[in-house]
Amino acid sequence: MSELATVGIDLAKSVFQIHGVDENGLVLVRRQLRRSQLLAFFQKRPRCLIGMEACAGAHDWGRRLQELGHDVRLMPPSYVKPYVKRGKTDAA
C-alpha cells in the first residue's frame, strides 16, 4: 500500500476535511475529522507535506503538526480561491 505524500486540510470550526494523495497523485484519504481527532490522525502517519489555507487557526495547527515531524505549508487565501467549486463547501 502506498503512503501519503501530500495532504490538504480544509480548516473549519469543528469538522476538518482531509484530502491525501500518494506520490503519483492517487487519492488515498478523503474524509472528515473532528477537531479532537486531527492530531491523533497525523501521529499515526509517516512524515508528509501538509498544505492548508493561512488563517489565524492555521498557524497554531501548523506548529502542532510540525512538532509531529510533518512539513507544513500555508497558502494565502487568494491561492486557495480557485479550488472552491460551489459556495463555501470545498469538499463539494
- What are the phi and psi torsion angles at 75 (to 5°)? -110, 140
Cell representation of residue 75 = 497558502
Q: Give the C-alpha separation, 35 to 89, whole Å.
A: 17
Instruction: Name, in order, each residue with C-beta under 8 angstroms of 30's C-beta and a sequence gap of 6 or more.
Output: 18, 19, 20
What is the pTM (predicted TM-score) of this model? 0.82
At residue 4 the predicted structure's pLDDT band, cuts being 50, 70 and 90, is: confident
**Would you list the domain boundaries of the chain?**
6-83
Is 82:76 a contact under the CB 8 Å cutoff? no
Identify the residue whose cell numbers are 481527532: 37
pLDDT at 1: 53
Domain 6-83 belongs to what topology?
A: Nucleotidyltransferase; domain 5 (3.30.420)
> Regarding predicted confidence, which is higher, 30 or 84?
30
- Summarised one tens digit per residue, pLDDT across range 31-83 is 999 999 999 999 988 999 999 989 888 999 999 999 999 999 999 888 777 76
Instruction: Please tell me the distance from the alpha carbon of residue 89 to that of residue 91, in angstroms, as a whole number.
Output: 6
